[in-house]
Structure 1
Amino acid sequence: MTQSELTISRFIAAPPAAVWDAWSDPAKLARWWIPAPIICRVDQLDLRPGGGFVTRMREEGATDFQPHVDGCFLEAIPDERLVFTTVLTEGWQPVDPWLALTAILTFEAKDGGTLYSARVLHKTPEESAKHEEMGFYEGWGTAIGQLAGLLE
């Protein structure tokens, strides 16, 4: 691990195919992708290289959805691996996001379940530190816990 990346992993007592399904179904993704009680809306989920990935979030009681992720998938290998970035949007269009990152998600079959790992790369160590200070481990950990709760 370099100073410009953050990683988090968790064992989920469900097979990789179930984890992939929870990622590939917009209704399921909306249930776990953002820590509750924040509400997630999936606007685009095109799991192919160059496909768009757009989610929005809304605080409980608020009326408007705010930006969450506006990105592009770089790789999608069913039941194994997903890679997305926020520095590109659908069709490889370059953008200057509020938080530049590339996330490498792996779903490794292990002990009858899945070792779910997220490796999040940032442009600089400072950007990585900023993401960590924003609550990376708490936020991503909560979301992965919600994924486990959905599947186990």
Structure 2
Amino acid sequence: METSPAVRLEHTYSATPERVWQLWTTAEGIESWWAPDGFTVQVSKLDLRPGGELIYTMTATAPEQVAFMEGAGLPLSTESRKTFVEVEEPSRLSYSSLADFIPGVDPYDFLTVVEIRPESSGTRVTMSADAMHDEEWTERLAAGRANELANLGKVIDA
């Protein structure tokens, strides 16, 4: 397994930490922004406690994303499972994600940590994630998470 640097992203939102927390920890909130552009998310289980699970299905809907997924040999819909490790309302959330959808790669877990901190201009979110199995997938993870954080900003600003 190739080693990659961990993903670290930061974004400041014009909302309270409680509002950001609500968007990150409810099915309605997650479904409103979680997916990268061109995808939708449907939450089927949300048990917000250490050891609890978030299970959702992400589906490619935009023509360019459908074409990318088909070209990469990936299904258009993927069920994802995350297990909560830390739940400290409204300041810290961490979860382990199961990567079990990559052709030719044995399933494995990777950790994401989200820190939510008030500051004078709103709320600062710092997201850190473990590297995935190779550089290409780590870059995809970083791009997807950056897009998701931008989408969270759009929901907050709407």
TM-score, shorter chain, exceeding 0.5:
yes
Indicate yes or no: 2:22 matched with 1:21: yes
SS of 2:35's partner is coil
Q: 1:102 to 1:10 in 2, by over 3 A?
A: same
Q: Corresponding residue for 1:70? A: 81
Mapping for residues 1-150 of structure 1, pairs under 5 Å: 3-60=4-61, 66-87=77-98, 97=107, 100-122=109-131, 127=133, 129-133=135-139, 135-150=140-155
Percent sequence identity over aligned pairs:
21
Q: Corresponding residue for 1:93? A: none
> Would the aligned equivalents of 2:25 and 2:48 in 1 still touch at CA under 8 Å?
yes
Structure 1, unaligned runs of 5 or more:
88-95
Cα distance, 1:86 vs structure 2: 2.1
Counting matched residue pairs gives 138
SS of 2:147's partner is helix
Q: 1:86 to 1:4 in 2, by over 3 A?
A: same
Q: 1:67 to 1:34 in 2, by over 3 A?
A: same
Cα distance, 1:109 vs structure 2: 0.7
> Would the aligned equivalents of 1:4 and 1:128 in 2 still touch at CA under 8 Å?
no
> Would the aligned equivalents of 1:100 and 1:122 in 2 still touch at CA under 8 Å?
no
Q: 1:101 to 1:130 in 2, by over 3 A?
A: farther
Displaced runs of 4 or more, over 4 A: none
| Partners of 1:50 and 1:107 in 2: CA distance | 20
Cα root mean square deviation, aligned = 2.5
TM-score normalized by the length of structure 1: 0.79
TM-score normalized by the length of structure 2: 0.76
